[in-house]
Structure formats: structure tokens, C-alpha cells
A and B are shown apart, each in its own frame.
Chain A
């Protein structure tokens, strides 16, 4: 979390602890603070403050929005159109909405190219088919960083009358926020805010009808009252990160390009995602994924951990999952030996540049040692 957001959170425990929906003076104070935070965070998702709801997290907001958009369109159909690299929760929602009909669910999945990008025309064609309830598209993918043609797909969605949910949970605070969306979802963690703050922006006129009993909370779009200190911390994180976003992104692109070049120079390493130097229309500035042939992801994660680096893996060979990353598979990339790097925002990592230099220095030897342990250096 951003240091200023931590301070805000501590201060807000004294100031904004009360339930903002009550009438006593502490609650009215909490309400005022929540309103201020709503104005700041509405800018983060590019909507008016009155159109922003707080939900308990990004995934929760995505699923609530799909439920409500799908329910409002239930007479048109029940299928989901989404890219093949959408969040697992979104794709699983689509399978569920299709009622277990695998062909119906598969028909709405739009393939991606080898850098993970959908073709806007193919996405439009899929939305134009009969039986579609709702569409979902990421602004950027958290695993490989790929930016999707959101503006073109928003236009196409309006022409076909299908509501398009834009998933900006990985991009807010890292890329300029998409403008003029109908429904957009974010998560405060992408801009170094606290966990547990999902942002849902719904443009007026969008048919949004949550199934089940009517809620009076958060424009009828949430079933929980937001915890005010958490939302205030999120607003402070946004203010700080947005203020330095462009400069931080440029610095992150340089660092990612350096790691990418180091990884690509190692034999049989498959680097995924767009070239970081192509800019904000192509990729997130701070994400890199590569895969090491003949090595298991868990071995690499552990080896980097011993050097003091926390990296993730989309490989099936890690202890926690059996299936490999659906994102890498959809792009036709190698899934074994996968290493995913997400650079923290600059304010939370003052030594970032030196850390990246050290990572680049140990990367070739870590790969060589893992391959030697497995006896695959001759392959």
C-alpha cells in the first residue's frame, strides 16, 4: 500500500469509523468523508460521482455487474461474449450463464493473437450474434500486460445494443483510464490502495438490474456498506499515484524493457506479451511474463525467493494449481517455467531501479542452475 494511504487509513480509524448510513453526528461526518472519497475515485474510473458504487473488491464488482447486466437482458439471451484472456471469474460466469452448454459458452469466447490482443471486428461480430446477454473486455491483462481495443469495442457494443463491461482492475493508476465506457470496474489494489475496495461505474441509461431483492446500498448495486477508512485510503492512494502516473509509467517501461531483454537473451526463454516500449496503447507499463523451457515454475519461484525476489507463476507445476494459465495457453505461449513480474508503484519501492538491476544480474544464473538441477542442459 502507498505510504500516504497507510497514514490516511490510520487517521480515518479515528475520524471515519462510523456507519455512513446512520443519522448521528459521527455518521454524518463519515458520510461527508465518504462523499469526498467518492468524488476522487469517480475520476479514477471516469464516471460522475453519483454513478460510482463501492463493492467489496474488483472480482466481486465484476460478478455483480455481469449478474445485473445479464439479468436486465435475460429476454435477449443468456450468453457472454468475452476475450479468451479475461479473468477466470468472468469466463466461469459465462460457463455458468450458458447453463453448462459447453458449445454455447465457447461460442462467445473471442480468440486473441500471439500477444494476447483481440481483434475488435471479431469482438463486434461475436456481440452481433443472437442470444448474447452481455460482453466483457479487459482494459489490460494483469498477467501479460496486453491492452485491448476498448474504444472500438465500446462503439461496437453500442451499435449492437449489448452492454459491455470494461474490466480495468489491472490498469487504473497505471494507464490513462478509458473514457466513455458504459460499465467499468476497477480495484484499488492496482493503484496501491488497500485490498477490499472494488469500484463499479455505471453510466446513466445503462440497463442494470440486479437479480434478487432490491438493495438500498450504493445505488442499489451493493449488499454491504463500504468501510469508510478503507475507501478514504483508496482515494488517497489514487490521488498520489495518479499525480505521478506518467513519469512512473515511463520509468517502469524502461525497467521492464531491461528485464525483457535479459530474459530474451537466455536460450529457450519464451517472452510473452507486447513490447513494453510500444506505449500505453499496447501494454501495461509494469508487467512482464516469460517462460523457461524444460523447467517447472515452482522451482523458479523458489529460486528467486531465495534471492529475495517475490515473483508469480502461471505454470501448472506450482503446488496450488493443476491447470496452466489460460491466458498463456490462449496466446499459444509456453506455460511451463513461467515467471510473472509485477513492478510495485514507485512510492512503495524506493530502490526499484537497483532491485531490477540485481534481478537482471541473477536471472541468467538462476535459469542455468534450475536447468542443471533438472539435468536438461543438453536439450
Chain B
């Protein structure tokens, strides 16, 4: 899984690239990646599916994660950032 390398050399953000897939695939991809990430991990979901906007937020609420931001990644895709809660398994 690609990640963003922080100044201290640690991988601080996990990126899930679901561009081109349609609902519910982006959220399934995100949940699969989250299942192997430690609590507190910041994750990014990249998606072109318009349903991801509502569903990332709803998934965070249902799972107790913290939704951080949504922004345009490129003309087609959006980037959703969230932090996993401490007790995620």
C-alpha cells in the first residue's frame, strides 16, 4: 500500500486509491485497508465515485473514526482524509 513518508522516516498516511470504482467499492477498499492499520493512522481515500462524499462521512460515524477533510485531488477525483480511532482492529 502506498504511503506518505514523514520527516522522521515513518509512514504517516495510508493512501487508498479507489479512483474509477463505483459504490460501494471505495468504502470496501477503505475498510480493508483500515483493518490492517493501527489505531490513530491517518488515511486518505482517493475516489471518483460521487457517493463517496456522503459514504466516507457515514462510515466514519458508524465506525467511530474521525473525518478530517474532503478536497479536490484532480478534475475527476476527490481526496478524503480521516483518522482511525484508537481501538480499530
Contacts and interface: CB of A to CB of B under 8 A. Distances in A.
B45 to A, nearest CB: 14
Given A293-B27, A294-B31, A316 B59 contact: no
Contact of B31 (A296, A324, A332, A379): A379
Interface string A309-340: 00000011100001110001100111111000
A337 B23 CA distance: 9
A328 B27 CA distance: 17
B17 interface: no
Contacts of B59: 293, 334
Nearest to A328: B54
Interface in A282-312: 291, 293-296
Contacts of A378: 35
A332 B57 contact: yes
Interface of B: 22-24, 27-28, 31-32, 35, 49-51, 53-55, 57-59, 61-62
Interface of A: 268, 270, 291, 293-296, 315-317, 322-324, 328-329, 332-337, 374, 376, 378-379
Contacts, number: 69
Q: Which of A270, A295, A335 has the most CB of B within 10 A?
A: A335
Contacts of B35: 378-379
Given A296-B24, A379-B35, A335 B61 contact: no
A293 B53 CA distance: 15
Given A294-B24, A296-B24, A315 B31 contact: no
Contact of A336 (B23, B32, B57, B61): B23
Contacts of A376: 28, 31
Given A294-B24, A336-B24, A379 B32 contact: yes
A314 B21 CA distance: 18
Contacts of B23: 296, 315-317, 324, 335-336
Contacts of B49: 316
A294 B51 contact: no
Nearest to B34: A379
B25 to A, nearest CB: 9
B51 A336 contact: yes
